[in-house]
């Protein structure tokens, strides 16, 4: 999750939303199964992903064309 400027894979919004949704669903599943510790870890990942990939996201600059 730390490479938040991958121009190829993370540029489409749906992929960033999918990452956050997966982590949130994982947290909900862990909470449902009675594991609050793992739910807190997955919830923290969802919050961090929401911050990095949705709120603080800046589209990476396209590489300059070589002449």
User: How far apart are alpha carbons 17 and 55 in whole angstroms?
Assistant: 11
The pLDDT assigned to 62 comes to: 64
Confidence grade of residue 36 (pLDDT, cut at 50, 70, 90): very high
Contacts of 60 (CB under 8 A, 6+ apart): 5, 6, 7, 11
State percent of the chain over pLDDT 70. Answer: 78
Q: What is the pLDDT of residues 38-48, one digit of tens each?
A: 999 999 999 99
Q: Where are the domains of the chain?
A: 13-55
């Amino acid at each position: 999750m730390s490479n938040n400027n991958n121009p190829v894979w993370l540029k489409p919004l749906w992929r960033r939303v999918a990452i956050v949704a997966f982590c949130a669903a994982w947290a909900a599943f862990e909470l449902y199964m009675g594991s609050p510790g793992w739910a807190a870890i997955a919830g923290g990942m969802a919050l961090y992903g929401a911050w990095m990939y949705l709120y603080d996201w800046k589209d990476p600059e396209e590489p300059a064309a070589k002449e």
